[in-house]
């Protein structure tokens, strides 16, 4: 079954003293656009994480939030920029001397100055870290896929209902089309009866009416368009039944359905068919918007 591109997934794992949390949010996008926010510790795994996500989700704009905590001793250390501390201290003393004020900047205030303190992650086993992170990302992906699958199933069901509705209207147009020519012939004959006197009509060539009707019938013939619509509807149902990425295929197909519908509207020369075409175009437009959310 097709999947929606909208979804959310969360994964949390604890390994010894290490706690991982991953959140995924996705919305519509023509491509797989991945934005990752994570601690610098995981920079080495950036490409692998992106590949894991793109291979699973295929399409969508995906925001990834990764957090990490390690409670083990020695897992991180605080670095003091000694040369910068000295420079700040000397600068404060100089200001105090120049202004006649007391130098009351203690160690705590010096430590709060920009770039005085920094943290550094202790040595880590990158292979182990990535293995643990990968498990957490997969858990989040599983949750997202479940949500995307549920929403995708609802979308597919609604799209099939709309295709069935289009088929119904298409069949109504098919039944109406032959009557358009018959009614044109009747109107043409009535008009000739009004314009020509009884004696003049005796000299009017009936073949002229037949020729006029034939030209009209050729101009408003929509048999081929109706056949292609039937084919498109069947193809749409087959595509939606496939388990995998169907969004781009359906987007192309809906363009073809719209093209055939427009052609019928321009050729039909009948108000009843035109009204049905307008109804079909409304349904097609709704389908186009829904298809944008399919993977």
Question: How do residues 109-137 score in pLDDT, each as one tens digit?
Answer: 888 999 888 877 667 788 999 999 999 99
Tokens, residue 30: 């023509």
How many Cα atoms occupy the beta-carbon half-sphere of 22 within 13 Å?
Answer: 26
Ranges in the chain annotated CATH 3.30.230: 7-72+126-149
The number of helix segments (H) and strand segments (E) in the chain equals 9, 6
pTM: 0.71
| Measured distance CA(241)–CA(234) in Å, rounded | 11
More confident residue, 179 or 142: 142
- Do 232 and 257 form a contact (C-beta atoms < 8 A)? yes
In the beta sheet, which residues pair with residue 79?
118
Indicate the burial class of 106 (C-beta count within 10 angstroms; 0-12, 13-18, 19 or more).
exposed
Domain 7-72+126-149 has CATH 3.30.230: yes
* 150-291 belongs to CATH 1.20.140: yes
> Could you read off the pLDDT of 21-60 as tens digits, one per residue?
999 999 999 889 999 999 988 999 999 999 999 999 988 9
In angstroms, rounded to a whole number, what is the distance separating the alpha carbons of residues 51 and 116?
38
For the chain, residues classed under CATH 1.20.140 are: 150-291
CA triple 199-205-210, angle to 5 deg:
135
């Amino acid at each position: 079954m097709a999947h929606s591109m909208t979804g959310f997934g969360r994964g949390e794992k604890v390994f010894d003293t290490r706690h991982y949390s991953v959140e995924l949010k996705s919305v519509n996008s023509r491509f797989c656009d991945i934005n990752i926010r994570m601690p610098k510790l995981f920079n080495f795994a950036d490409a692998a994480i992106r590949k894991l996500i793109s291979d699973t989700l295929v399409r969508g704009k995906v925001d990834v939030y990764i957090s990490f905590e390690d409670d083990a001793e020695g897992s991180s250390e605080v670095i003091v920029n000694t040369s910068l501390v000295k420079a700040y201290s000397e600068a404060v003393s100089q200001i105090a001397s120049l202004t006649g004020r007391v130098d009351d900047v203690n160690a705590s205030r010096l430590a709060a100055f920009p770039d005085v303190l920094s943290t550094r992650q202790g040595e880590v086993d990158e292979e182990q870290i990535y293995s643990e992170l990968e498990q957490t990302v997969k858990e989040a992906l599983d949750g997202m896929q479940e949500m995307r699958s549920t929403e995708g199933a609802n979308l597919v069901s609604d799209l099939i209902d709309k295709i069935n509705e289009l088929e119904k209207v298409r069949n109504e147009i098919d039944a109406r089309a032959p009557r358009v020519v018959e009614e044109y012939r009747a109107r043409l004959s009535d008009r000739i009866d009004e314009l020509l006197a009884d004696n003049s009509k005796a000299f009017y060539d009936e073949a002229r009416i037949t020729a006029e009707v034939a030209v009209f019938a050729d101009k408003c013939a929509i048999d081929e368009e109706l056949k292609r619509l039937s084919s498109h509807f069947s193809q749409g149902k087959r595509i939606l039944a496939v388990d995998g990425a169907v969004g781009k295929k359906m987007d192309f197909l809906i363009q073809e359905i719209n093209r055939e519908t427009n052609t019928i509207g321009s050729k039909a020369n009948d108000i009843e068919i035109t009204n049905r075409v307008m109804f079909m175009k409304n349904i097609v437009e709704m389908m186009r918007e829904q298809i944008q959310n399919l993977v």
